[in-house]
Amino acid sequence: MSVGLFKIFSNILKQNLPRLHLKTGPVRGLAAAMDVAVTEDNEVVSNKKFTRFRKRQWENYSKKENDGSENKRTCDGDKPFERIKKKKMAMLLGYCGVDYYGMQRNPGVPTIEEELLKALLEAKYISDEDFKNQQNAQFQRSSRTDKGVSAARQVVSLKMPLEVHKEEINSRLPECIRVFGIKRVTNKFNSKGKCNARTYSYTLPTYVFESSLITVEDRKKYRITPEKLEEVNKVLGVYKGTKSYHNFTEKKHHTDPSASRFMMSFGVEKVFVDSEMEFAVLLVKGQSFMLHQIRKMVGLTIAVVRGHTDMATLEKSFGKEKVMIPTAPGLGLVLDMVHYDRYDARYKTSHDSLTWQDEEEAVQKFKHDHIYPVIVRGELEGNAIGEWIDTKLIQHSYEPSDDVPLEKGEENEIEMGGDDDDEDDTAPERETTTEDSKKDHDKSSKDSVVDAKTCEKENPNEGSEQSDKIEVSEFSVKEIS
């Protein structure tokens, strides 16, 4: 075929065939696919919207045929999935620890944390995973207490739903454990790390300060004199300030910077009478405490006032030499209050204060109903501190002995944790390096300057113990007896 005939044939085709608006390049195939579709009956459909409608209609029809429902499937099948918002909360609670092996969770034995976590799980405030591993809920206690030690104002922090009711938790707790209040805190709040001071109380019979009392009747009738009360406060005042307490704990060397602790105040808070026996409440406030520190401070105070040793031994205990200090029983020790002064000052405009003033009435009622009666009963029926004085204190030697090291004698108790131990107790425990200890010491020394200035403001009525004695004695006879 000649070239002329081919051109004529091409012109005829162009004139007779419909003109198509084709796009050039790679877009040509995509445009054709978008504008043309084929149905199940092999019919050409030029409207893509109609094709999409048929597709969605087919999907809905399939769901109706298979499920009989247009709802989307959920993880639980019947129940729709609901995400519960959890925020960091601070919880104030009190407990009588006589029947428990301390605050911290310990597998195989009853603890306060175990009871609390069980109640939270039953109330559906934490999940099963949180119960098995409380670190999932960022659970943290402000201070751990040992076997038999109670707390009036323990604070724990953890993540919980925004809608939390303390009544739901208390209904699942035993009577000796009570939640007083729950408050929203910052997301990075840690009840242990944000605490800048702790206050402990130690309740004991006043006869322990008088060495001439032998019989039970004489001890029960004894009433402390203003002169003896002044003597006790004088000895307790020696502990105030920053000192090295390496002799008041276990396995601490005098060169260890972490043995340096700052005590803000220490004195007799009140005296009361219950069941015809007089008791005194010693109150100590400090930045932090070590294992057995408070019980040894009380033990040495009793020994000095009774005349078993002198003030020289007390002064020597803060020095480099090793001094064996008697450890008072743990029955009267109570975590009284946890202080968050710096946190409250920083977030006073955005978050509630952690002074818990609205819960104070409930706290006091719990102390008089569940804590003080147990301590009094332990002294009246068990003669706890009386037996300690008659069997251990009068035979105690303050010179170190190589035959029976104190650390070995109390090794099991140390492994379980301390009644007044505020050291880092997260699991797994991290070994404290020299650099860490130096940082803690530097921070403690820096804070001592600030806290020492506020010490007098926090205790403006120092020396008014006698008036407190009369007022509390009348109240205690009426309310506790």
Rounded CA gap, 421 and 411, in Å?
A: 15
Whether residue 420 contacts residue 292, with contact meaning beta carbons closer than 8 Å, is answered with: yes
DSSP string, 3-64: HHHHHHHHHHHHHHSPP--PPPTTHHHHHHHHH-EE-TT--EE--HHHHHHHHHHHHHHHHH
Chain Cα centroid distance, residue 54: 61
For residue 84, give the 3-state DSSP assignment.
coil
Six token digits for residue 118: 């069980």
Q: Nearest CA to 216 among 276, 281, 132?
A: 276
Pairing status of strand 277-286 against strand 44-45: unpaired
The backbone torsions φ and ψ at residue 224, rounded to the nearest 5 degrees and listed phi first, read -70, 140
Whether residue 170 contacts residue 115, with contact meaning beta carbons closer than 8 Å, is answered with: no
Chain Cα centroid distance, residue 210: 38
DSSP conformation class of 318:
T
Rounded CA gap, 318 and 321, in Å?
A: 8
What angle, 0 to 180 degrees and rounded to 10, lies between the N-to-C axes of helices 293-306 and 226-237?
Answer: 130
Six token digits for residue 46: 């030029």
Using the Cα atoms of residue 179, residue 184, residue 190 and residue 191 in order, give the sign of their dihedral: negative
What angle, 0 to 180 degrees and rounded to 10, lies between the N-to-C axes of helices 465-479 and 226-237?
Answer: 110
Pairing status of strand 150-161 against strand 333-339: parallel
Of the residues 146, 274, 419, 421, only one is catalytic, namely: 146
Rounded CA gap, 351 and 310, in Å?
A: 49
Whether residue 236 contacts residue 473, with contact meaning beta carbons closer than 8 Å, is answered with: no
Rounded CA gap, 282 and 285, in Å?
A: 10
Whether residue 338 contacts residue 161, with contact meaning beta carbons closer than 8 Å, is answered with: no
Whether residue 305 contacts residue 234, with contact meaning beta carbons closer than 8 Å, is answered with: no
Residue type, 177: I
Using the Cα atoms of residue 462, residue 467, residue 469 and residue 475 in order, give the sign of their dihedral: negative
Chain Cα centroid distance, residue 443: 21
Q: Is 146 a catalytic residue?
A: yes
Q: Nearest CA to 103 among 138, 137, 152, 136?
A: 152
Q: How far is CA 191 from CA 145, 155, 241, 352, in A?
A: 15, 6, 25, 14
Q: Catalytic amino acids?
A: 146
